[in-house]
Amino acid sequence: MRYPRLCTSLAAAAYSVALVALLPVPAAAQSAPILIWPINPVIEADARSTALWLENPGKAPIQLQVRVFAWQQSGEGDTYAAQNEILGTPPMVTIEPGRKQLVRLTRTQPAPARAEQAFRIIVDEIPLPATKAAAEGAARIQFRMRYAIPLFSYGAGAASSGGNPSVPAQSLAWRIVSEGGARFLEIRNTGAIHARLVDAAFDADARPFAPGLLGYVLGGATMRWPLPKEAGAGALRMFVNGTATTLPASGG
């Protein structure tokens, strides 16, 4: 099966992953983004591992470090912690121009029955040693890229439906919160499965206030996002894990 490839950068972040950071470091030349696929890897209940592909479309070798963290949400943000349930191998790779590299994501122990576990795969570019010519080009800047890809693992009795699990609308509740002179959209997920939110819009608005990926709300978590001042009201419409969903107007 072929998966869609993803060129992850700040400009493309809305349709890809929830986190992309660009950290400038002195070096020879600007890095090219890598291609990553699939963009929504899962480890199904009946599987022990899954594959993640990294490809270098640039003209110079790149060195990457691959780490997997447990992913939780608390209050208004994401938290990551060291874990030993999922192992990514190899943890360090060098990819030549035009070549691709397989990273195997393997469970070291069975996932809890009827449960979804959330992880983040963090792929960091590690600058290669600078050549003498590069060292002399002090005016040039290389950007060190960071990519964060969501990974979900399922235990016996839980299924992802190919990475797009069904989330009942009644599992999601929302309200608008005002704080410090700003307005926020707060969404609570009382279900056991994550909700991936795309193209969020209010009935009163002609266009989404958050085109593309708004973000994720993990099972049992609450998240919030800043709202534009011009955002309207009424029912909240969006795609939840690929399914068009309408949530009734909030009671506040």
Q: What is the pLDDT of residues 114-167, one digit of tens each?
A: 999 999 999 999 988 765 445 555 445 556 799 999 999 999 988 787 778 888
Check whether residue 179 and residue 135 sit in a common domain. no
Q: Of 94, 127, 154, which closes a domain?
A: 154
- What DSSP designation does 131 have? P
Check whether residue 37 and residue 131 sit in a common domain. yes
Check whether residue 147 and residue 231 sit in a common domain. no
Check whether residue 39 and residue 116 sit in a common domain. yes
pLDDT for res 33: 84
Q: Of 123, 154, 185, which closes a domain?
A: 154
> Could you tell me if residue 89 is inside a domain?
yes
Structure tokens at 122: 């963090």
Check whether residue 12 and residue 64 sit in a common domain. yes
Report the number of distinct structural domains present in the chain: 2
pLDDT for res 21: 32
pLDDT for res 246: 95
Which residue range forms the structural domain that includes residue 136? 6-154
CATH code where residue 24 lies: 2.60.40.10
Q: How far apart are CA 27 and CA 135, in angstroms?
A: 7
Whole-number percent of the chain with pLDDT over 90: 66
Structure tokens at 117: 């576990």
Coil, strand or helix: which one is 96? Answer: coil
Tell me which of 8 and 120 has the higher pLDDT: 120
- The answer to whether the CB of 222 falls within 8 A of the CB of 175 is no
Check whether residue 208 and residue 99 sit in a common domain. no
Check whether residue 70 and residue 195 sit in a common domain. no
> Could you tell me if residue 1 is inside a domain?
no
Check whether residue 173 and residue 150 sit in a common domain. no
How many other C-beta atoms are found inside a 10 Å radius of the C-beta of residue 169?
12
Check whether residue 210 and residue 139 sit in a common domain. no
